Structure formats: C-alpha cells, structure tokens
Structure 1
C-alpha cells in the first residue's frame, strides 16, 4: 500500500512537471542560461530525491482521504528536497541544481495549510504545482537579461541619437549664423555695387562731356593755329622780303665802302711806298742770344680784287711811324705768336696811337697757313699782329659757327719765305710759356723797317 502511494505521488509530480511544446522550445532556446544557473541535462527519466523517496507514514490510507502522512509532510517541509530531475514530455530530463532546490523549498513554504486538508487529488497536485512554478522562474532570467540588454541598447541608441542631434543642431545653428552673416555681407556688397555703378555712370557721363568739349577745343585750336600760321607766314614773308631788301642795300653800301677804302689804300701805298711788292724786316733779339736775328716779311699784293690793299697800307703806316720799335713778342697761344705794341707818349705826354684796320679784310688768295702774318681782324682790337706757327686755315677763315652765327675771316697780309727767318720763328716757338700763355722770356723787336724805302723822303 505504501509503495502504491509513493507511486501515485511520483506520478503526480511527473504530471505536474510535464511541459508543453512551447515551454520546451523556451527551455531549448535558453539552454546556455539554464546551464549557467546550474541545470544540467541527463538521461534519467525518473526524478530522484536527495534523501530518499517521498512516502507517507500510513500505509493503509487511501486516495482521497486525510491521513497522518499529510501532517508529516507539513512538519517535514524543511526536510523536503525537490527532485533534482524533472521529466519533460519526450525523452529529456532536466537536472535542478541545489540553489534552485532551495528556491523551490522557500516557494513551497508559502503554500497554505489548507492545501493539506483538500481532497486527495488536490493534496497530491499542490506540491507539484509549486514545483511547476520553478521552470517559469528559470525562463524569466534570460528574458530579464534580454530585456535589460535591449533597454541598455535602446538607451545607448537614444544617447547617441541625442548627442548626434544636439551636435548637428549646434552645427546647423552655426551654419545658419554664418549664412546670415554671408547674406548681410552680400546685401552690403550689392548696395556698394549699386552705389559704385551709379558713380561710374555719372563719371562716364562727365567723361563723355569732357571728351566732347576736348574735341571741340581741338578743332578750335587747330583752326586758330592754321589761321595764325597763315598770318605768320604772310607776315614773315613780308618781313623777310623787307629784311632781304635792307640787307641787300646794306651789303651794297658796305661793299661800296670797302671798295672805296681798298681803292684809297692802294693809291696811298703806291704814292707813298711805291707799287710793290713791299717787304718789311724785323730785327729781334731772342733770350740768351748775343746777336739780333732778322725776320723778313713779304707783304701781300695791293690789288683791289685779289690783294689786301687796306691791310698792307695799315701795316706799312705802322712801320713807317716806327710803332714797332721797342715792341715784343710776349704771348704764345699754342698756334700763334702774338706781338703787342708798348705805350708811347708824345711831347705833350699823350699816348701815340698807331693806325688800325677799319674792317676785316680777307682774301682767299692769302689763307692762314704756317709762317704767315695776320691782324686779329676785328675792328677795335688794336694794332697787334701775330705769326701762325701752324696751319690755321679753318680757325681764322670766314665760317659759320656751331651756334649758327657767321664769323668773318681775319686779314692775312704777309708771308715768311726765307729759311733763315723761318728758323728764327721755330726757335721762338720753343720758348717756355706761363699759365696765362705769356712767354716767360719775351722776344724783343729792336726795330722794324720797310725794305728799300727811303725814310727821308
């Protein structure tokens, strides 16, 4: 009888622990979590007890009746050990760890005592129902973990989204501010462009007016310039004609005056000094020389067309008046030796003046070659004469200067032909010169005489 009751109790526990296919799938899906909780799978079909099988103390109690076995079960709840193995429909047996047995015992202590006084079926199923709640708690653990993970994931996603949102919102706000600044700058630039366009249009209008006025002024100026040029040309032509007429008159008068002077000079030379040719001899004394030296000058012809009658007449009159007695060659300008007259006084202590030329007479028949004698040629220059120690044809002939002015030639009226006279000129040319072109030692002219002329006549 006792064996029969134990069999009934085990059968009830097996019925209570039989799981549906849904529960089976849940347990299979969470097998890893259940293993971590201490549940192990085995092949035992029959649940085993830690300290033996569940039995009653009354072997003769029947099903549906109250017996001392129920009382003993209540008194020994603390000693009741939940079967470690629960049979699942099919062939799988779940092993419950001691930790879950403890939980199962605590859960069973909370059952009401009234369950013991119930009918035999309810008395047999009560403990089994308590046992059946354990798999549900086992299934809740992974669900809670999964929910916890989901919640954490959702929170993380929400935080990420929030951070991203606020970051992008800040960026958008910054970009909007920059965009507003750019819009403001663009508006300012547009206003400046409009203002500059207006100023440019005004300036273009003014420039067009200025150009028009300038063109008109150019036309007026061109017309005035043309008119003035015409008037000037007409006036200049008239004035030039008048000047040419006057110049021709003056030149004609001058030529008549020159021809008159030359003709008079030629007549006076012929009457007083003979027809020529005429010669003049200078007696000079060189520095550091004991004896005096002679320089003979052959004067030019007194022909009025090809000769130098006025210059020859002037020099003969100077020599005849003995103006050159006691004179000297005192200057050497590099290309000429210049002879100057001393101051002479008469009985009344007045300076005696030698005759000078009246105009710069010149003849191409007597150029300024080396060893020739000439006057400075300009009226008012005095009675001085010079000897060319080199060819001065270009310097002393009639010429047009660089500034456009015309310069007349200087009268060249004599030549030095004999070799002895030229040798004396060469010695004079070697004398030392001061910084002002004056000779350091003068060459004295002791006397000057007309060759073949009788002074008494």
Structure 2
C-alpha cells in the first residue's frame, strides 16, 4: 500500500505565513513612502507657488507704497512752497504794519494780518496731514521690508594710513529710532543702507560738535563718483524734516545734515539737543524745523572718538585733512 506524503509541519506553515506578512508590509511601506514623496512634492510645489504669489503680492504692495509716497511727496513739496511763500508774506506785512502802527493805528491793518495768519494756519494743517500720511506709508513699507525692529546697522571704517589716531576700534554699531517715533526717516536710511549707497563714502568733517559723513571719496576709491548712486536711487535727501521730541540729538546720536536733510549725516560728539533740535538752526528759512535724529551708537564709541581726534583743514567748515573711509554699512 502506497504511503501518503507527510503533512507540512506547523513550523513550515508559520514560516510561509511570516513571509507573506513581510511581503504585505513591504508593499504597504513602499506605498506609504510613495504617498509621502508625492505629498511632499505636491506640498513643495504648492508652497513654492504660494511663496511666488506672496512675493508678487509683496512687490506689488511695496510698489503701491512707493507710488503713494511719490504722490504725497509732490503734494508736500507744493504745500511747503505755499507755506514758505505765505510765511514770507506774513513776515513782510507784519514788519510793514509794525512801522505803520507806530505812526497811525488802523483796525484794517489788524484785519489784514489776521486774515493772512489764518491762511498760514490752514497751510500748516494741510502740511502736517500730508506728513502723517507719508509717515504711515513709510511705516508699513519698513515693517514689510525690514521687520518691526529694533533695527541695527554696522559701520566698518578704515583710517587714512597717514593719520591713524590712538585706539583699536574701527567700527561701530548704531540702533535706529523706533518706527513709532521716526518711521519715515528710519525707512529712508535703512533703504539707503540696503542699496549699499554708503559703501565707499567717507567721514570728511570734524566740526567739533559732530563728525560728519557722506558721499565723498577717500584713499580707497580716489576719483569715484560716490554721489551719483544716491541721485540714481532718488535717495539724496528726505522730503521733510521729521523729528520727535522723545528721540533728541544727544551725544552719539545720528542725524541728517542740511535742508532738506541728506545724504550727509553726522554723529553728535556732544549733546546737540538745543543746536539741532526745533528752532536750533536759525540760518534756515523755516526756523522751527529740526534736523532728523534717527539713530544712536550703541557699540564702538571708541571709533567715533578716534574720528573726533583727527586734524582738520583751515577754514570754518572743519574739513578733515584725511578722510575716514566707510568701507561698508550693513543691516544686522
């Protein structure tokens, strides 16, 4: 009688079952990995599209800010001319009537002065409203471009080899004023730095109360026109003299020089609150204006003090004999 084959052992059946489980798990794992790869690719593409869309929206928004600021700037310049003209007329009329009153008092003269004063007040209010619009536009642009702050910049300097004052530091760090105090000027300065406009400029004046820098070439770049980039970027000067009483011209603060301020700036080597604050610059047409004070040195005071020790050329301007090269200014 033929013998029946032996039945597979339990061990064999268990091994076969384990292999099937492994195969199933392998298929599941491969499928999951494929799904994950697909999802990652999908989400990456979606993320890239979102970033592209966000960047386009951001650029469009910035362009809108710029266009609005340009429009407001033109309006402001027109109002400022109107304001200056009216103030001059008022000043002349007051001088004329002052002499007239001494000779013959007239109520009609007082009426004329009152009417002109009212016109000047209306122009000033219009001017102030435009400045507030510009500040708000600049604040939004600064937040979008540079963040909320505090904003800091680093100046890297090189002294002329023919006059190296005692000390080691040849760099300093400045912290910008809060955006809620000086939004327009802070955004203006940070934009100049972002575009590299101060790279290659110089500290060229040691006036005693300030060391002043700006677009003047130095021993590292003789003959280079460092003023042109400011003009090309339309960032030579501010469109109005922004100032806040809570950020005055204390020692080691930074302000824009001139009317309108810029592109030259200075670091105060003494407390210039009175000299450069409201009403301190009597030589300018609008005596109530102040220099914009927009930053303060927080590190590297020695570098400023070293510049303050440099010799100057003859004359009232106090031009340095040897300019200090501004090698690079960067946003930290």
- TM-score where L is the length of structure 1: 0.44
Aligned match of 1:244: 117
Q: 1:353 to 1:372 in 2, by over 3 A?
A: same
RMSD over equivalenced CA pairs, Å: 3.0
Q: What secondary structure sits across from 2:298 in the alignment?
A: coil
Q: Is the 8 A contact 1:323 1:354 kept in 2?
A: no
Is 1:308 the counterpart of 2:185? The answer is no
Q: Is the 8 A contact 2:251 2:268 kept in 1?
A: yes
Is 1:357 the counterpart of 2:234? The answer is no
* Residues in 2 aligned to 1:311 and 1:403: alpha-carbon distance in whole angstroms: 20
Is 1:425 the counterpart of 2:304? The answer is yes
* Residues in 2 aligned to 1:263 and 1:276: alpha-carbon distance in whole angstroms: 16
* Residues in 2 aligned to 1:403 and 1:363: alpha-carbon distance in whole angstroms: 19
Aligned match of 1:267: 140
* Residues in 1 aligned to 2:327 and 2:284: alpha-carbon distance in whole angstroms: 43
Q: 1:341 to 1:394 in 2, by over 3 A?
A: same
Aligned match of 1:280: 153
Alpha-carbon shift at residue 428 of structure 1 (Å): 1.1
* Residues in 2 aligned to 1:318 and 1:404: alpha-carbon distance in whole angstroms: 27
Given candidates 267, 272, 280, the residue that maps to 1:392 is 272
Q: What secondary structure sits across from 1:431 in the alignment?
A: coil
The answer for unaligned runs of 5 or more in structure 2 is: 1-99, 217-224
Aligned match of 1:317: 191
* Residues in 2 aligned to 1:402 and 1:337: alpha-carbon distance in whole angstroms: 20
Aligned match of 2:297: 416
Alpha-carbon shift at residue 287 of structure 1 (Å): 3.2
| Structure with larger Rg | 1
The answer for unaligned runs of 5 or more in structure 1 is: 1-224, 452-457
Aligned match of 1:339: 213
Alpha-carbon shift at residue 244 of structure 1 (Å): 2.1
Q: 1:294-342: per-residue Cα shift (whole Å, max 9, x none)?
A: 2101000111xxx011110110111011000011101111111110114
* Residues in 1 aligned to 2:283 and 2:206: alpha-carbon distance in whole angstroms: 26
Alpha-carbon shift at residue 398 of structure 1 (Å): 1.1
Alpha-carbon shift at residue 286 of structure 1 (Å): 2.1
Q: 1:280 to 1:356 in 2, by over 3 A?
A: same
Q: 1:433 to 1:355 in 2, by over 3 A?
A: closer
Q: Is the 8 A contact 2:201 2:226 kept in 1?
A: no
* Residues in 2 aligned to 1:256 and 1:384: alpha-carbon distance in whole angstroms: 27
Q: 1:344 to 1:450 in 2, by over 3 A?
A: same
Q: What secondary structure sits across from 2:172 in the alignment?
A: strand
* Residues in 1 aligned to 2:123 and 2:147: alpha-carbon distance in whole angstroms: 34
Aligned match of 1:158: none
Aligned match of 1:442: 323
* Residues in 1 aligned to 2:284 and 2:126: alpha-carbon distance in whole angstroms: 27
Q: Is the 8 A contact 2:205 2:320 kept in 1?
A: yes
Q: 1:351 to 1:261 in 2, by over 3 A?
A: closer
Is 1:229 the counterpart of 2:109? The answer is no
* Residues in 2 aligned to 1:370 and 1:267: alpha-carbon distance in whole angstroms: 30
Alpha-carbon shift at residue 382 of structure 1 (Å): 3.6
Q: 1:259 to 1:371 in 2, by over 3 A?
A: same
* Residues in 1 aligned to 2:200 and 2:186: alpha-carbon distance in whole angstroms: 21
Is 1:373 the counterpart of 2:247? The answer is no
* Residues in 1 aligned to 2:189 and 2:111: alpha-carbon distance in whole angstroms: 45
Q: 1:382 to 1:415 in 2, by over 3 A?
A: closer
* Residues in 2 aligned to 1:263 and 1:405: alpha-carbon distance in whole angstroms: 24
* Residues in 2 aligned to 1:345 and 1:315: alpha-carbon distance in whole angstroms: 15
Q: 1:91-125: per-residue Cα shift (whole Å, max 9, x none)?
A: xxxxxxxxxxxxxxxxxxxxxxxxxxxxxxxxxxx
Q: Is the 8 A contact 2:156 2:329 kept in 1?
A: yes
* Residues in 2 aligned to 1:404 and 1:281: alpha-carbon distance in whole angstroms: 34
Count of aligned positions: 217
